[in-house]
Structures are given as C-alpha cells and as structure tokens.
Chain A
Amino acid sequence: MRRLVTRADVIIITAVILLAAFLWVLNPKETGETAVIRVDGKEYITVNINGELTETTVNGVSIVYGGGDIYIKDSTCRDKICVKAGRLSKQGQSAVCAPNRVSVEIKGKSKNAPWAVTG
C-alpha cells in the first residue's frame, strides 16, 4: 500500500490541476474602474482607481490607488502577502491582509454574478 504513486494519486493530481484551471478560466479579466476596501468584511470605502494617485492607511495597511490601478504599499503584518499581490487593475483581482483583516478588491460590473465576486 505504501507505494510512492498509485492510480488514485494520478486521479487526485489531475483533478486538482483541472479544478485550478477551471477556477482560473472563470476569473474575469476585464479592467475595473472602482475598488472596494473592506475592513472586518464591512465596506470601508469604494475608490476610483483611475483618478489621481492617492494614499490611504487603514488598520496599519497603506494602500495606494489612482492612475489605473491599486496596490498595497506596505502593511504592519508579517507575511506581507497583500503587498506581494502587486498592482491590481482587473475585475475580481484582490489583495488580502488576513492579520489586519483588510481586503482590497476590484469591483466587477455585474455585481450578482458569483464569479465576478469570488474571482
């Protein structure tokens, strides 16, 4: 039983890769215009990402937006996954700082389409 690879393993890996590809394809790739900044899941502010460069700090997370994109410049958290998410401009793209409970997400046009939100 303790083999390195079995037929079930190949099925598992294929299924995971297919699932990833499926979720990837469903991601909307259109450019968005506004971004929602949420704190504790509640909407904090919605900003226009095509306006002038503006910097704002929420819960220790400094966010820069304007000129066509939005990005998290710095955060007080340890892993800085949100900073590494880079510049966001496409609908559904997001950067999340779990330790500070702040999220930034580019809004999709169709609000009710589930994948525009989850993407």
Chain B
Amino acid sequence: MKSGKIQKLTVTALFTSLSVVLSALESFLPSFAILPPGAKPGFSNIIVMFSAMSLGVPQTLFIVCAKAFFAFLTRGAVAGLMSLAGGLLSGVCMLITLGKLKMTGCIGAGVLSAVCHNTGQLIVSFFTVGSSAVFGYAPVMLIASVATGVVTGAILRAALPYFKGLEKLFSKEMER
C-alpha cells in the first residue's frame, strides 16, 4: 500500500517534469509551415491525457498547475495565466472524457484537449487584451487544434504501452 503510493508520487513527479520539459522544448521549435503563426503542437497535452487516464484528479491538476507556474516564471504573468486557463480547461475535459466517460479514442481526446487548451488561452487573451478582436483567431485556432490534436493523439496511442508499464508499478502495489 505504502510503496504503491510512493511509486504513484514518483510517476506524478516524473510526468510533471516531462510536461514542463516538453512545453519548454516545444517553444524552441520553429513555427510549422502548415500551422498558423503562434500555434504549438502541444506535446505536454499527451502527459495530461495519460495522467487523466490513470493517475487521477489531484495528480492531473497538479501537473497542469506546475506547468503554468513554469510558464509564469519563464515567460511572465500573462503567459502563466494563459497556460493555467488552457491547462485547467483541457485537464478537466480530459478527466471527464478519458477518466470518466471513456468514450473517446486517442485521436478524439487529443483534438478535444487541444481545442480546450486553446479556448482557455483565447479567453484569457480576451480579458488581458480587453477586445473581442482575439476571437477572430477562433476558426484558424480550431483547425490548427484538429491538426495538432491528431498528432498528439497518435503519439499518445503509440506511447501508451510504455506508459502502461509504469502504471502497473503503482496499481499492482495498490491492490495489495
């Protein structure tokens, strides 16, 4: 029981750092030709999706908040707030769709997660910029979300067997 908890804590810590590293590395990538300016592939959503599947509610929210805190430290308050809003919205959405309903496949989860993430960011930029002009980006953003969501969803599906190996570590111990 005890060691299962520790293993879960370790995996949560590992995934937290993984999501921070992924989002940091991602910002070094040049803008993709097919994507509109400013669009990022959102690899750290993969981590949040897996976390919502098997780690649980507090762990997922912790990962999201830690990532937002990192964005706040490195890129300032507005970026931190955008990351928090986007992360929380997509995190909660993933907890519901992947954790509870279990109806979506990996691709659908990826798309939904990207859409939620971007919507959260758009809402924050609506308040910080104070103009509904930001919603002009909405159609472009939705299409970009489908593209990036399919990619992250496919990566999630490919990585799942390895993640599952990690999951066994703590779920087995928990049963004892």
Measured CB to CB, the residues of A under 8 A from B are 1-6, 8-10, 12-13, 16-17, 19-21, 23-24, 27, 38, 40-42, 78-81, 84-85, 92-94, 96-99, 101-105, 117-119
Cα separation A101 to B124 with both chains bound (whole Å): 11
CB of B148, distance to nearest CB on chain A (Å): 12
Write the residues of chain B forming the contact surface with A, with a CB cutoff of 8 angstroms: 31, 37-38, 53, 75-76, 78-79, 82, 102-109, 111-112, 115, 125, 128-140, 142-143, 145-146, 150, 153-154, 157, 160
Residues of B contacting A117 in the complex (Cβ-Cβ under 8 angstroms)? 132-133
Closest residue of chain A to B138 (Cβ to Cβ) is A23
A103 touches B129 (CB 8 A): yes
Judging by beta carbons under 8 Å apart, are A23 and B139 in contact? yes
Task: A106 to B112: give the CA distance in the assembly, Å.
Answer: 31
A-B contact count (CB 8 A): 127
> Nearest chain-B residue to A86 (Cβ)?
B37
Residue numbers in B under 8 Å from A16 (CB-CB): 111, 115, 142, 145-146
Q: Given the complex, which residues of B lie within 8 Å of A3, measured CB to CB?
A: 105-106
Nearest-Cβ distance from residue A119 to partner chain B, whole angstroms = 6
Q: Which residues of A contact B53 (CB under 8 A)?
A: 2
CB-defined contacts of A119 to chain B, threshold 8 Å: 135-136
Min distance, Cβ B22 to any Cβ of chain A, angstroms? 18
Question: Are A9 and B107 in touch, CB under 8 angstroms?
Answer: yes
> A19 near B142 (CB under 8 angstroms)?
yes
Question: How far apart are the CA atoms of A103 and B137 in the complex, in Å?
Answer: 13
| Docked complex Cα distance between A52 and B139 (Å) | 32
Q: Kindly identify which residue among A8, A19, A41 contacts B108, using a CB–CB cutoff of 8 Å.
A: A8
Give chain A nearest CB distance to B40 CB in angstroms.
10
Q: How far is the CB of A12 from chain B (nearest CB, A)?
A: 5
User: Cβ of A9 and Cβ of B38 under 8 Å apart?
Assistant: no
| CB atoms of B136 and A27 under 8 A apart | yes
